[in-house]
Amino acid sequence: MVRKIGHGQSLDWYLLGVLLYEMIVGVTPYYSSNKDELFDNIVNGKLKLPRGISQEVKSLIISLLNRNP
């Protein structure tokens, strides 16, 4: 969606990962108050996961937020 090209079902799984991350952490995974930086973070940013999350949840979020499924 950010790249403005077609998308398929994998985007739904990615967005589920975004929702899960936000529900657990409190902010979106690649948050920035600057719109251009936010879009760059979504495309290129490194995923940062807090230490307090269980390994199983980390694994699920990483799998869902896979940019190249």
Higher-pLDDT residue of 17, 6: 17
Question: Residue ranges of the domains in the chain?
Answer: 9-64
The answer to whether the CB of 67 falls within 8 A of the CB of 26 is no
Q: pLDDT tens across 12-65, in order? A: 899 999 999 999 999 999 999 999 999 999 999 999 999 999 999 999 999 999
The answer to whether the CB of 66 falls within 8 A of the CB of 14 is yes
Query: How many Å apart are CA 65 and CA 4, to the nearest integer?
Result: 18
